């Protein structure tokens, strides 16, 4: 299950497609929706278009979209007895069958829509029927045949009409057009499946790691934040130790807590780390002469065909990697309070302040709460409050909970009516 985004908005307000593919039969359903649809709306679409036809699924594979990892979505399918399986972050090949269907859907829409891009949602049923009635390379038959046990009657399956029946030239041309269109779509689907498979196989590499190995991680522009400069950012970071093997394609790494990202990586993002050699130790190995003559023993150069041996370099194995140093976070100090405002929160109204930090540029100005400013610079806060006298300007109807703090009362407003 996946979304196709970035489509032109239609007059019916659709700009995305929810694609649902059956793992066994390869039957696909294309449901028009909006990119602003929340998890509850997506669930209602799934119940209306999928469950009413096929029932509840046992497992469901999807990416880590915010709607699919929300508390509502997980709780709903746990109650329904459906196991949710999520793909590896930033690796769409995990749900490869849906990605292939998305590519084929794009080709279908380009054939059917033409220049009428603002009405693509009207041809989605035609695209879905054409896809499900086409033979799949993996199964050797159409998804419709696998699900229902027979091939659907299509416009190309025309029965010869009696001679006495007067036919319409327009109807005949339309039927021939549908016949040619379906044949063209079938050929394109078969060609695209073969092309996508060859491209994927050419880039796939077979690499296997073990628990305890150290690997370098490719820096992905989506997963890792580059900051202000991208050109000077390292291509790989690490090394990090593998702590769990999830499958042949996914491994869990021991990442620092401050990174705050999913520790599961696909094998295509990992490179084996080779430990550098440590300083070597040179030692001279000399073999004593076998002759018992004292002259040979005292002077080895007298031995016939004798060549002095060169020092042999022996290498010590590299030591294990040291633990990653812990760097304490830098604590900036507020230099000036520029403004303040009241914001709405779930608990009521909250007073916050716009501050300029000492040693930083004005572009780094940020909003902090009353508690944070009290902790960082209480004297600056007290001076600002005395100058502006904000207490008289923020009086709102409703219940006020006041908490004394130093010489100023921090006001938090609860707009809920009294019991």
pLDDT in tens, 28-43: 999 999 988 899 999 9
Q: In this predicted structure, which of 67-76, 356-365, 407-416 has the lowest mean pLDDT?
A: 407-416
Q: What is the pTM of this model?
A: 0.43
Mean of pLDDT over the chain: 75
Edge-first strand order for the sheet with 236-245 is 264-266, 250-253, 236-245, 214-218, 270-272
- Gap between the Cα atoms of 381 and 125, Å rounded: 63
Specify the pLDDT at position 322. 54
User: Quick one: what percent of the chain has pLDDT higher than 90?
Assistant: 16
What secondary structure letter does DSSP report for 174?
Answer: H
For 268, the token pair is 């295509």
Class of domain 2-148: alpha beta
Q: Which residue has the higher pLDDT, 388 or 79?
A: 79
pLDDT in tens, 220-261: 766 665 555 566 667 888 899 999 998 888 899 998 877 778
Residue among 343, 391, 331 nearest 369 (CA): 343
- Gap between the Cα atoms of 251 and 242, Å rounded: 7
Secondary structure of residue 277 in the 3-state scheme: coil
Q: How confident is the model at residue 414 (pLDDT cuts 50, 70, 90)?
A: very low
Class of domain 334-386: mainly beta
Secondary structure of residue 238 in the 3-state scheme: strand
The CATH fold assigned to 213-224+232-272 is SH3 type barrels. (2.30.30)
Average pLDDT score over residue span 174-196: 76
Secondary structure of residue 334 in the 3-state scheme: strand
Specify the pLDDT at position 292. 45
- Gap between the Cα atoms of 110 and 112, Å rounded: 6
Q: Which residue has the higher pLDDT, 333 or 314?
A: 333
Domain ranges of the chain: 2-148, 213-224+232-272, 334-386
C-alpha distance from residue 394 to each of 366, 383, 388, 397, 407 (Å): 22, 18, 12, 10, 18
Residue among 371, 328, 354, 323 nearest 214 (CA): 323
């Amino acid at each position: 299950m996946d979304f196709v985004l970035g489509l032109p908005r239609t007059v019916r307000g659709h700009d995305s497609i929810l694609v649902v593919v059956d793992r066994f039969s390869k039957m696909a359903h294309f449901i028009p929706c909006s990119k602003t649809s929340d998890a509850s709306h997506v669930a209602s679409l799934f119940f209306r278009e999928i469950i009413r036809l096929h029932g509840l699924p046992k497992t469901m594979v999807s990416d880590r979209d915010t709607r699919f990892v929300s508390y509502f979505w997980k709780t709903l399918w746990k109650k329904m007895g459906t196991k949710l399986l999520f793909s590896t972050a930033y690796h769409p090949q995990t749900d490869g069958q849906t990605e292939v269907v998305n590519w084929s859907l794009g080709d279908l829409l380009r054939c059917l829509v033409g220049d009428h891009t603002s009405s693509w949602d009207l041809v989605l049923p035609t695209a879905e029927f054409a896809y499900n009635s086409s033979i799949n390379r993996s199964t050797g038959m159409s998804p419709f045949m696998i699900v229902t046990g027979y091939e659907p009657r299509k416009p190309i399956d025309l029965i010869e009409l009696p001679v006495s029946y007067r036919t319409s030239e327009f109807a005949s041309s339309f039927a021939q057009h549908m016949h040619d269109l379906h044949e063209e779509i079938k050929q394109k689907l078969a060609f695209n499946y073969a092309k996508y498979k060859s491209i994927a196989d050419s880039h796939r590499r077979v690499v296997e790691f073990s628990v305890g190995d150290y690997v370098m991680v490719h820096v992905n522009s989506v997963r890792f934040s580059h900051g202000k400069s991208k050109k000077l950012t390292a291509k790989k970071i690490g090394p990090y130790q593998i702590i769990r093997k999830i499958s042949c394609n996914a491994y869990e790494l021991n990442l620092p807590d401050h990174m705050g990202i999913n520790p599961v990586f696909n094998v295509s993002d990992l490179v084996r780390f080779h430990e550098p050699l440590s300083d070597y130790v040179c030692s001279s190995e000399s073999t004593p002469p076998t002759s018992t003559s004292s002259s040979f023993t005292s002077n080895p150069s007298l031995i016939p065909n004798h060549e002095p041996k060169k020092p042999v370099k022996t290498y010590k194995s590299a030591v294990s990697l040291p633990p990653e140093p812990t760097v304490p976070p830098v604590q900036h100090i507020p230099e000036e309070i520029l403004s303040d405002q009241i914001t709405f929160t779930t608990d009521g109204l909250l007073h916050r302040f716009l501050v300029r930090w000492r040693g930083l540029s004005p572009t780094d100005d940020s909003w902090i709460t009353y508690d944070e400013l009290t902790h960082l610079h209480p004297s600056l806060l007290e001076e600002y409050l005395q100058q502006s006298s904000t207490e008289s300007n923020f009086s709102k109807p409703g219940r006020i909970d006041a908490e004394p703090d130093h010489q100023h009362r921090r006001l938090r407003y609860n707009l809920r009516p009294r019991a």
